[in-house]
Structure 1
């Protein structure tokens, strides 16, 4: 299965009737979108693990464990504080936030249409 086919499978899982599957797939897709916004691409290996996780075949802890086994222990340091672990904290007015939202709007147009409706109702 190609990278694109794996990614498409994850997108299809995000449209599942099962809310737990849909929520997990959406969370992973947002994470992948953030990587894409940073001009990074996740590996096909990670996509395989993600799909297995969303389907309930493995836990998120198992995803982490398999990544460590595959890439080595120096892939990341779990002891780091996430707010100080090399992640960029974006200010609310950062143009990157708009890029991320635009990317996710393309990925999940129905979700954002519903969010926009709710926002417009609140304004009235």
Structure 2
């Protein structure tokens, strides 16, 4: 998945952000749209994230680790098990910084982990770096 080209020929990435914190969703969306120039859709929990990912087939998913109902790791595994979404890169977003917590996330089928709180001015660059986007 490589995004779509706009009128100027630039690639516009489509990002799905999944987080149960409304403020995080708003800040991430604003950052990725205004600083990154990408198109962003949001979901408030893992189940809604699965539905949106299957419907929209975004270029990448940024997903919170701890959410009520279906958490990020469970949703990531479900996305990997579905042939339609198996190839979408997933980046986890978490406030967990303990070594044991990081080690548990390192074995998940995700492209990487970003730490909350994040710098809205740097989020698109950090996401691009994790995903190997230039």
Question: Between Structure 1 and Structure 2, which shows a larger proportion of helix residues?
Answer: 1
What is the TM-score of this pair, normalised by structure 1? Answer: 0.24
Q: Larger Rg: 1 or 2?
A: 1
Which protein is richer in strand relative to its size?
A: 2
Structure 2 length-normalised TM? 0.23
